[in-house]
Amino acid sequence: MNKQDLAFTPALEQAQLIRTKQLSPLELTQLYLDRIEALDPKLGSYFTVTPELALADAKAKTEQLATTDPDTLPPFFGIPISIKDLTAVADIPCSYGVAALRDKLPGHDRAVVTRIKQGGFVLLGKTATSQLGSLPFTEPAGFPPARNPWNLDYTPGGSSGGASAALSAGLCAIAQASDGGGSLRGPAACCGLVGIKPARGRVSLAPLGDCVNGLLTHGAITRTVADAAAMLDLISGYVPGDPYWLPDPNPSFLAHATAKTVKPLRIAFATKLDPIGEAAPECQQAVLNTVQHLEEMGHAIEQISLDLTDLLQPLTAIWVSGVSFSGMPKEILQPINQWFLERGQQVTSGQYLQAVAQMQMFSRRIVASLEQYDALVLPVFMSPTIRVGEWANLSPEEILHKSFEWVAPCPLFNATGQPAIVIPAGFSAGLPVGVQLVGRPAGEAPLFTLAAQLEAAHPWIQYRPPIA
């Protein structure tokens, strides 16, 4: 296998090559570091790269491999991973996309990072994010914009844009990411990748509290459904004090992703979201093609409508208040986050609590209306990927409005806490288009089975962006 093919090999397959001593963690880590050095100046996918730490860890793991029973190794032993720069890693800079904080060192690991380290991963560095994760594109002031490997004129999405760009270009094997309103799913779709947004309570937010009333969750962007399932198996689980938690799956998510038989399911789909309207033709077609494949596989398909009208106002109040929660001084923020900060400071405590209650009541109605279905197929975004800088000259109000219109199919399921997985569903004008499969509350397992069934029938692993 040549080095380029190895860089795009799924992580679980790389792990097997390491276990059988056909590949060393040091060789694999050096491969990705070389690719980062060569390609990232064009992509802006990493804020921070830590070659010394990565190579030292990979060298130690290579030495460990020579004296350890392979069957006792953790699942991703020696596999290089990127961490989103909203996720704290002890003694590695975490800027949150704020240029003034680019050298700030956290004194702790987030719980998800602890589990990633326990899983055997080698950390390559921190990937680019929109400032404070507040926007669906990744162009924070003071940093180069993150660019889409399929066409450098376009965004890889946000806020996990650096994660998706790095993985899509072969600059890591798996990318840790997070999703508070589509921040993981959108970038996965923009770059032709798999993205898993777990159910609320599946992955701990420890040691921090919940700052946006259950909207945010950690997840991962991967090349394959099996990699996503194995990653969720690794990072899931309760940490004492978590405000939300779910029992561990039985059997594992990976077992569901590799199931040999699939029972027929009842699946709904929608391409229209009121009050926004119909998705763009490319996004509609991706959904229609997907449900056609599912129908051919024996699943029962039904079209439905969704109305987000009652969600927009409370969600906006909660979202702008999130910037206030950050505690960042106004002067170090870029203009749109300064505007969010001012808007958030105008939301009284009573108004905030009313918004939370309204969001929860809306969520109850949505979950109840979907209870009869095993899964729901939706666009990820309502229109194709935007260009880098396309909204740079718009007012904050216009950017907020356009952002909500673009990402409309995503925040709904942050509000309800339902899981969703994004899979590639073709191309439009040379850029990837994805769809999302949404499950019942705590229902990731059937999503992995469905996504793997679609992956097997219409593989996407062979597609690579031009920059590769």
> Active-site residue numbers?
84, 159, 183
Query: For 416, what's the count of Cα atoms within 13 Å in the CB-facing half-sphere?
Result: 26
CB atoms < 10 A from the CB of 446, how many?
20
> What is the residue type of 368?
A
CA 334/CA 376 separation, integer angstroms? 37
CA 164/CA 195 separation, integer angstroms? 9
Query: Residue 80: beta bridge partners?
Result: 122
Question: 412: burial class by Cβ within 10 Å (0-12, 13-18, 19+)?
Answer: buried
- The torsion of the CA quartet 194, 195, 199, 202, rounded to 10 degrees, works out to 100
Query: Residue 378: beta bridge partners?
Result: 436
Is 200 within 8 Å of 214 (Cβ atoms)? yes
* Side-by-side strand order, sheet with 277-278: 277-278, 272-274, 306-307
Q: Note the residue count of the chain.
A: 468
CB atoms < 10 A from the CB of 453, how many?
19
CA 107/CA 383 separation, integer angstroms? 41
Q: Pick the closest to residue 157 from 195, 121, 123 (CA basis).
A: 195
The token duo for 247 is 């029992």
